[in-house]
Structure 1
Amino acid sequence: MFARSVSTSLRQAVARPAVAYRAVAVRAYSAEADAAKPAAEGEQSADEKKIAELEAKVKELTKDIQYLRADYQTLTRRSADEKVKAQDFAIQSFAKALLSTADVLSTALKHVPQPIEKGTPLESFYTGVELTRKGLFQTFELNGVKPMEHPVGKQFDPNHHDATFQVPQEVAPKRADGSVRDKGEVIDVAKDGWLIKDRVLRPAQVGVVQME
């Protein structure tokens, strides 16, 4: 009986240090885990900060790319516009230089007496001038240059007409139906007006019924 009691006491005494060791080990592990928590949280916070910085950088770069693209498109459009303007200027200079030739050809045809006798030198002259004028007008048309609509019978338009003379209404030639012409009505054309792509290249030089 005594021996059994001693044996039990010895086992309990031996068991106590093991329990104490386990408790110490648990506390040590818990302390290490608690110490590791702030470090892990710190690492996570640093990673999130880096991600936020990278996202901000990506947004900034994206915005820069958009600006560069817009600048490039603007530059491209500007270059195209300048190219068109330079081309229009060259055509305008070319056309203006030849308008006097067109005037001469048109005047020559207008003053040839009609009808023309067949097989005469005058007929050959008329045909040659007419073909030359037609070829010149075709060249004009290919480059966007065209004569204005004939203005006789229309009201004077300062944007398209240049009045070279005025005639009082009472002495102005009447219309074909015998009616009196209105004040400001175009009655004669000295030189045809010309357009280049719907812009005035040269206003028509006209005579009008005297205006107020």
Structure 2
Amino acid sequence: MTKNNEEEQMKKENNENSKIRTNNEAEPKVSKNNLSIRKENDELKERLKDLENKILRALADNENLRKRHEKEIQDNLKFSIKNFAFSLLGVADNFQRATQSIPEKAEEGNELIKNLLIGMKAIEKEFYDSFEKNGIKKFSSIGKKFNPEFHQAVSNVNSDLQEGFIVEELQAGFMIDEKLLRPSMVTVSTGQKEKKIENDKESSE
């Protein structure tokens, strides 16, 4: 082998060794770059997750706030209707008392009183129809057990009904949206007639 050939062979070997060293040196750099990119990706994912949670919390807070405002508006509306309806109950009561105060036979042969009574009853009916359209309903109490949550006892009387049952309703009670608007004023039975009959039977025996 000539000297020139030997030199060329050595150059080739040196070049190959240089390439190997370059590749070996580049591998750690690539590996470090990959680790850095992964770390940045993980950090970005964490930030996105945190941002997503914050957005979801903000949306939930806004939804709760919206519902709370809607409830406040509805409550205020119901409160306004309740106060207005309560003030109208007195008017309806007066119409009822006025119609009840007219004797049954007064309209016989008197066209004026008859027409007046018809008109008053029609107005009274319109009152109650308007109440029902707005969730206000009258409830019946006669013959039912006295309940202090719905009834206001004005007096007690002897009657054939059992003790604690309602004999007479002096003023009607009303509900609004399943809540009490006004209790009914009632007369409650003491059950004395029933007891007296039992005592009389025992005495006769």
TM-score range normalised by the length of the shorter chain = 0.7 to 0.9
**For residues 148-170 of structure 1, what are the alpha-carbon distances to aligned partners after superposition, in whole Å with 9 as ceiling and x for unaligned?**
1x211110112211111122xxx
TM-score scaled by length of structure 1: 0.84
**For residues 104-133 of structure 1, what are the alpha-carbon distances to aligned partners after superposition, in whole Å with 9 as ceiling and x for unaligned?**
111122222224315432212211211221
Query: Following the alignment from structure 2 to structure 1, what is the Cα–Cα distance between the partners of residues 109 and 8?
Result: 141
Is 2:58 the counterpart of 1:68?
yes
Q: Which residue of 1 aligns with 2:96?
A: 106
Residue identity in the other structure for 1:39: K
Alpha-carbon offset, residue 142 of structure 1: 2.0
Q: Which residue of 2 aligns with 1:51?
A: 41
Q: Between Structure 1 and Structure 2, which shows a larger proportion of helix residues? A: 2
**For residues 52-108 of structure 1, what are the alpha-carbon distances to aligned partners after superposition, in whole Å with 9 as ceiling and x for unaligned?**
111111111111111111111111111111111011011011011111111111112
Q: Which residue of 1 aligns with 2:72?
A: 82
Q: Which residue of 2 aligns with 1:132?
A: 123
Is 2:10 the counterpart of 1:20?
yes
- What SS is found at the alignment partner of 2:104? coil
Root mean square deviation of aligned Cα:
1.5
Alignment: residue pair count: 190
1:1-212 aligned at under 5 Å gives the runs 11-115=1-105, 116-148=107-139, 150-167=140-157, 171-172=158-159, 174=160, 181-210=161-190
- What SS is found at the alignment partner of 1:127? helix
> Matched residues, percent identical?
24
Residues 17/210 of structure 1: CA separation in 2 closer, same or farther (3 Å cut): same
- What SS is found at the alignment partner of 2:148? coil
Q: Which residue of 1 aligns with 2:197?
A: none
Residues 87/113 of structure 1: CA separation in 2 closer, same or farther (3 Å cut): same
Q: Which runs of 5+ in 2 are unaligned?
A: 192-205
Query: Following the alignment from structure 2 to structure 1, what is the Cα–Cα distance between the partners of residues 151 and 172?
Result: 9
- What SS is found at the alignment partner of 1:155? coil
Residue identity in the other structure for 1:124: N
Query: Following the alignment from structure 2 to structure 1, what is the Cα–Cα distance between the partners of residues 110 and 170?
Result: 31
TM-score scaled by length of structure 2: 0.87
**For residues 14-73 of structure 1, what are the alpha-carbon distances to aligned partners after superposition, in whole Å with 9 as ceiling and x for unaligned?**
322222111111111111111111111111111111111111111111111111111111
Residue identity in the other structure for 2:143: G
Q: Which runs of 5+ in 1 are unaligned?
A: 1-10, 175-180
Query: Following the alignment from structure 1 to structure 2, what is the Cα–Cα distance between the partners of residues 76 and 207?
Result: 47
